[in-house]
Structure 1
Amino acid sequence: MNKRKLVIVGDSAFAEIAREYFDVDTDYQVVAFAVEAAYLKQEALHGLPVVAFEQLTALYPPQEHDVFVAVVYTQLNRLRARLAGAAKDMGYRLASYVSPRAFVWRNVKLGEHVFIFEDNTVQPFVEIGNNVVLWSGNHIGHHSKLRDNIFVSSHVVISGFCDIGENAFLGVNASIANNVTVGRDNWVGPGVTLMKDTVPDSLFKAEHAEPAKVTATRFFRVDR
């Protein structure tokens, strides 16, 4: 079977991981990486060329190639959204990846340009917008809506009937209670629990645990 050729925009760790998943789990063959010319620092990555994004159509025509933008939550997801929009304007079809090791119920609605890692549970009647990343191990509860340009890290719990606004970031182990609306441009730090609706452009910081006055070895009576 002839595989569809794919260019990954980005050269970060996410780009490396995306290349692995697309090559192994899909009918795509990754043929190159691309970054904006001002950030072009290397000629190759894992044996594949790294080219200037501005030269993409000349080197990898959109008639023969698709694009995935492997950028994380930089600028509250706006960089990923901007590059995906630019690629689409160039004529490229935007690729998506849904891990065969994720549970995505049959009536879930998925937008374009999504990346869903392994061990995600996406329950019935969920709606996921465009340009959304679900890293590993999240629970997306029934009837919830994730709007465009969202990044959900790992082991996040989004309960039922939630509405997550555009450009939001949800940190590791964050929890969103039932029927909560998270405003657009919200940053929810690791381990934060939200029990009620939030307003747009809110930042919820995680509390850093402080060490106890007694040391661990003294508490457990370990001879040093």
Structure 2
Amino acid sequence: MEKIIIFGVSQLASLAHFYFEHDSPHEVVAFTLDKEYITENEFRGLPVIAFDEIEGLYPPSQYKMFLPISFKQMNFLRKRKYEQAKQKGYQCVSYISSKATTWPDLDVGENCFIFEDNTIQPFVKIGNNCVLWSGNHIGHHTEIRDHVFITSQVVISGCCIIEENAFFGVNATIRDETTIGKGTLVGMGANITKDTPEYSIWIGAKSAMREDKSIDIDSISHKTKG
């Protein structure tokens, strides 16, 4: 049983601990966090160690790491901490739910967090440090590159290329053979039918609350530059 350290004490970190505890051959032995953010020395019954001291107590020759960090700063925060862990010499593990639908040829990099009910078709390639929340469809021969965050109920059709640091909101849909540019933000409910430029924002269904508390749905199909 491989022993791992989880970065963070957030809800995502507690979810990661739960999944590893119940659906993984790994043993979580500690949590780690940047020193200035530590307020308690224990989380979920395990020690919390300062990140700048972690390799002295849990050397990378004996322990691995998992960094379940959110999409803040368009995934660049997660990218930065992942790269810092790699600089310290840690190998980062991935978690793939046993309740996800996958095939034996699935190619997944390090530090990926793939939740239940994802359907990942044959010949899909997923890079390092990606998050696929529950209930997505990833079509055949699609390549998802590093540091991507896909929320829930997203449909990415076959033969797509998803460049680094892209983000997908709930219920977004991507047409087959489409390239999503680096740092693209695909909003909730957006339908993408053509390639997107880098760092663009694509807005889907937009909700606004009126004074009478009814909801006005205004479907928008344009983009604004980020």
TM-score (norm 1): 0.90
Q: Secondary structure at the match of 1:77?
A: helix
Cα distance in 1 for partners of 2:207, 2:105 equals 41
- Residue in structure 2 matched with residue 19 of structure 1 by the alignment: 17
Sort the Cα spacing of 1:63 and 1:169 in 2 relative to 1 into closer, same or farther, 3 A.
same
Q: Could you tell me which amino acid in structure 2 is paired with residue 150 of structure 1?
A: V
What is the correspondence of 1:180-191 to structure 2 with a 5 Å cutoff? 180-191=178-189
Deviations 1:49-80 (A, max 9, x none): 11210010112111221100010112111111
* Structure with max Cα Rg: 1
- Residue in structure 1 matched with residue 66 of structure 2 by the alignment: 68
Q: Tell me, yes or no, if structure 1 residue 152 matches structure 2 residue 150.
A: yes
- Residue in structure 2 matched with residue 9 of structure 1 by the alignment: 7
- Residue in structure 2 matched with residue 124 of structure 1 by the alignment: 122
- Is the 2:191–2:204 Cα contact (8 Å) retained in structure 1? no
Cα distance in 2 for partners of 1:170, 1:66 equals 28
Give how far 1:104 is off: 1.1
Q: Tell me, yes or no, if structure 1 residue 91 matches structure 2 residue 89.
A: yes
Q: For structure 2, list consecutive stretches of 5 or more residues without a partner in the other structure.
A: 215-226
- Is the 2:68–2:113 Cα contact (8 Å) retained in structure 1? no
Q: Could you tell me which amino acid in structure 1 is paired with residue 14 of structure 2?
A: E
- Residue in structure 2 matched with residue 44 of structure 1 by the alignment: 42
Give how far 1:163 is off: 0.8
What is the correspondence of 1:94-113 to structure 2 with a 5 Å cutoff? 94-113=92-111
Sort the Cα spacing of 1:215 and 1:110 in 2 relative to 1 into closer, same or farther, 3 A.
closer
Cα distance in 2 for partners of 1:103, 1:64 equals 31
Q: Secondary structure at the match of 2:73?
A: coil
Deviations 1:127-166 (A, max 9, x none): 1111111110100001111011101011100011111110
Cα distance in 2 for partners of 1:162, 1:100 equals 25
Give how far 1:209 is off: 2.5
Cα distance in 2 for partners of 1:172, 1:96 equals 23
Give how far 1:106 is off: 2.0
Aligned residues: 214
The worse-fitting range, judged by mean Cα deviation, of 42-51 and 143-152 is 42-51
Give how far 1:214 is off: 8.0
Q: Could you tell me which amino acid in structure 1 is paired with residue 191 of structure 2?
A: T
Cα distance in 1 for partners of 2:47, 2:25 equals 20
Q: Could you tell me which amino acid in structure 1 is paired with residue 50 of structure 2?
A: A
TM-score (norm 2): 0.89
Give how far 1:38 is off: 2.1
Q: For structure 1, list consecutive stretches of 5 or more residues without a partner in the other structure.
A: 217-224
User: Identity, % of aligned pairs?
Assistant: 45
Sort the Cα spacing of 1:214 and 1:52 in 2 relative to 1 into closer, same or farther, 3 A.
closer
Q: Secondary structure at the match of 1:112?
A: coil
Q: Secondary structure at the match of 2:207?
A: coil
Q: Could you tell me which amino acid in structure 1 is paired with residue 21 of structure 2?
A: D
Deviations 1:153-194 (A, max 9, x none): 111000111111100010111111111111000111111111
Give how far 1:213 is off: 9.2
